[in-house]
Amino acid sequence: MKNELTALKGLRDTIEAHINEYVPPELEDIGPGQVVIDYPDVDKMTYPTMFFVYPDYAEYEPSTTCSDNVDFRISVFLLCKRDTQENLIIKNYGYYNALYHLLKDNTSLDGVIDQTRINDADFDQVEGNPNVHGALVSVSTIFEKDF
């Protein structure tokens, strides 16, 4: 049975399992614990680069009497810190492009849901701090929710 939690965990697990296939060779691989379901907190980051997967909102459309079509939006926060300005920008776009290509190639999140797509991305310093760069990526996960 597919639901919002299935999509949220599926996105986290897919990023953790496959992101390194797309990370450019000049950047470090993403390891266990660097992709979490949580709201980002720069002060509590245990690694200099992390992906935070966080639910945003859902839109529902009746499909049958026993299911709904769901467009569940998930925010993926990509944060990079503890480096020079130039390297932070390079890392931020390198990891973002890895995420972009991963989700283009694996739209079903390893068969967990029906479709995934990136809606938009916002790149900026985080909290006005020049030592932290980030991307806020809006991801749509589309599936049929049974009830």
Strand order in the sheet with 129-146: 35-37, 49-64, 67-81, 129-146, 115-126
Answer yes or no: are the C-beta atoms of 54 and 141 closer than 8 Å: no
Q: Which domains does the chain have, with CATH numbers?
A: 4-146 (3.30.70.1700)
* Reported pTM: 0.94
Q: Which of 109, 114, 140 is closest to 19 using CA atoms?
A: 109
Q: Which of 11, 141, 4 is closest to 78 using CA atoms?
A: 11
The pLDDT of 126-146, averaged and rounded, is 90
In which band, very low, low, confident or very high, does the pLDDT at 130 lie, cut at 50, 70 and 90?
confident
pLDDT of amino acid 146: 78
Answer yes or no: are the C-beta atoms of 73 and 57 closer than 8 Å: yes
User: What's the chain's Rg over C-alpha atoms?
Assistant: 16
Q: Is the pLDDT of residue 27 over 90?
A: yes
Q: Which amino acid is at 137?
A: V
Q: Is the pLDDT of residue 95 over 90?
A: yes
pLDDT of amino acid 63: 80
Q: Is the pLDDT of residue 127 over 80?
A: no
In which band, very low, low, confident or very high, does the pLDDT at 53 lie, cut at 50, 70 and 90?
very high
